[in-house]
Amino acid sequence: MLSTAEPIDAELPQEALVKKLCATLSGYLDAKQIDDCVRAYHFGASAHDGQVRKSGEDYICHPVAVAISLAEMRMDANGIMAAILHDVIEDTKVSKKQLAEEFNKEVAELVDGVTKLSKIDSKSRAEAQAENVRKMFLAMGKDLRVIMVKLADRLHNMQTLGVMPPEKKRRIARETLDIYAPIANRLGMNSIRHQLEVLSFEAIYPTRYRILNKAVKKARGNRRHIINTIESAINIRLQEAQLPCEVSGRQKNLWSIYEKMRQKKVSLAAIFDVHAFRIFCDDVDSCYRVLGVIHNLYKPIPGRFKDYIALPKANGYQSLHTILIGPHGLPIEIQIRTHDMHRMAESGIAAHWLYKSEDDKSEKFRARANEWLRDLLEIQKTAGDSLEFIDNLKIDLFPQEVFLFTPKGGIIKLPRGATVVDFAYAVHTDIGNACVSARIDKQLVPLQTKLENGMTVEVITAVWARPNPLWLNYVITVKARSSIRNYLKHFKQQEAINLGRRLLEKELQSMDVYLEQVEQSRLIELLKISNMHSIDELLENIGLGNKMPFLVAKQLTQFDVNANVKLNNAEQTTKTPLVIKGTEGMVITLAKCCRPIPGDSIIGFFNPGKGIVVHHHECRNRTVTSKKHSSWLDVEWSQDVVGDFPVDLRIEILNQRGALATVAAAISENDSNIENVTVVYQDDRVCVDMITLTAKDRVHLANIIRRLKEVPVVLKLTRIKA
């Protein structure tokens, strides 16, 4: 595992560092492999010749120090060479092809995976950082050693951060806390994570770090007596039970102490009231026997026991956690695990190399890491851009977990606060896309229900169901969020293509032409002029309102598609109106200003990028929008339109007790539902309300208004059309 000793002395000459590296490598590599690593050092030293770090040391000292860290994790020869050469592509004239020829393709791929993108057309530093992290994860998907090299590189950079300007120091430390420490945590590499967190804490808040560090050292000295008393009592009881175990006090790192103080808003004394111990056993059976002994020694606090052996964390961490009431009423935190579990907890995926000669238990942890990476790679394919991917990554990096059960007894792990929709997508993307409700412990619940430990969840699906944009307000898992966004993006695209086809065909038919009759060569020429790649792209732009269907139809029916078409108002108004049902979705929407319903005279306006917005013919906004003559078209309702459509009514009623209830009852009698009520004006005699209710069509609304006018408390009633 990675040494937690003091950072390598920056003043050591590079020859001394190379000797230290060779001494470490000799413990597990053969002579030829060590020679290859030394050859990589000479190649790197030559490439970096003349380059120095801000500390004044030769640049090659940094990659050799990174290689030493990896050698302590028993990284293979190609990984060590990649560490030594990890900056040559980025900072020198050496190319990936040269590395492959000089060493091998594997080393070249590893170095390229760690290398930042040299030329990024980014608008901000945040975008550049996001793009680099995204590239790194793509490389990690092929080889986990990429992240091993990157974490060791970041660790040494943090250890030598002292010479940087304060502003840059804080920025690098914040990036480390946001991205690299959580990645180390997610991969189970707690040793590296703790070092990164403490070093980042010192860089971001130097004064707080100094004061807290001094206070912690003092507190640890003051409580030494009581720690020895508890440790002695535990050892005596374990000996009596004939359980040979190792007991040691556990020290919280400064960053975790600071975070607990900040989140819980408590003092250092409150944090240090909890005395923490670890007990190391030889096998799993002994762990549970020790737990029984400890619970007989001190009383456990109900609800504070966690079994991470039976249900390991997502990063492979295994241990038994319990909190007890010790002498003088002080809480005691105990972690019980085997020696193998402790090595895995400290090294994570690094255990694959460090302990491979002893057993292959680390394979399952490596498999978990690969599974997580596969999920992230699937998510990055659907992410709109690198900033969206980085947001998804931050959500996913080691949240607190709840364990849930499927009806067949399968276990699903989700972050705390996850909902039924998160669960559905965790089971399968198709289940998530089609979910309508669920049963928790056989009780029907809505989709936004938050899940808790131990629940049995059964997802109910329907063939007609599809993802709802509102789900994005309460889902918290990356898979659910990216799957919903991806579906809606493609759904909108397909919907726009279908609408664009209908609009173009309608315009062509008014010219006695059918789309199928248009020559292929003319379509290709139009696509070329429009700088588009396919007919679907053209139809999508028409459906989204970015291109006018009449102009496209004119271009297709003219001999010269380059002709500059000039049209008067009469030409632009199509004789055959577009038939709509009002429920098309994303690319046909009903305007909220006038809320048209079936039976109303309507008109449609193209809203670039969004499609068609349908207004009432008497809407006051129409006079403003219709000035843009090229952006409106005639539309009419379909004969078989069905559904409930919102309508705004302005209603004046007597200000007396129960008046609004009487109005609501009259609306309900006419098979309508109130969606919203807003009080516009109120005095001692009159109350003016704005009511949004549902109506099936114009006739249904007329019946509702007629009934409301019969209500004695109603003084005046008006439908709002703008």
User: Cα 135–139–143 angle (5° rounding)?
Assistant: 160
Contact 195, 4 (CB under 8 A): yes
Contact 515, 504 (CB under 8 A): yes
**What are the structure tokens assigned to 296, written together?**
């007989």
Give the whole-angstrom CA distance, residue 717 versus residue 649.
Answer: 7
The catalytically annotated residue of 91, 106, 143, 307 is 91
DSSP type of residue 469? G
- Name the 3-class secondary structure at 674: strand
Calculated CA dihedral for residues 149, 151, 153, 157, nearest 10 degrees? 180
The catalytically annotated residue of 58, 72, 76, 90 is 90
Give the bridge partners for 496, in sequence order: none
Known active-site residue 282 = no
Helices marked H in 619-697 — which ranges? Answer: 620-625, 659-669
Residues 6 or more apart whose CB falls under 8 angstroms from that of 634 comprise 573, 574, 577, 578, 603, 604
Give the whole-angstrom CA distance, residue 594 versus residue 550.
Answer: 27
**What are the structure tokens assigned to 125, written together?**
């530093």
Measured CA to CA in angstroms, residue 266 lies from 35, 131, 325, 330, 489 at distances of: 55, 39, 20, 16, 46
Contact 110, 78 (CB under 8 A): yes
Q: Give the gyration radius of the chain's Cα atoms.
A: 34
Q: Which residue's entry shows tokens 């990690």? A: 140
H/E stretch holding 353: helix 351-354
Give the whole-angstrom CA distance, residue 385 versus residue 498.
Answer: 26
The helix-helix angle for 190-204 and 145-159 (nearest 10°) equals 40
- Name the 3-class secondary structure at 68: helix
**What are the structure tokens assigned to 105, written together?**
């393709």
- Name the 3-class secondary structure at 662: helix
Question: Hey, how many other C-beta atoms are within 10 angstroms of the C-beta on 338?
Answer: 19
Known active-site residue 540 = no
**Catalytic residue numbers?**
90-91
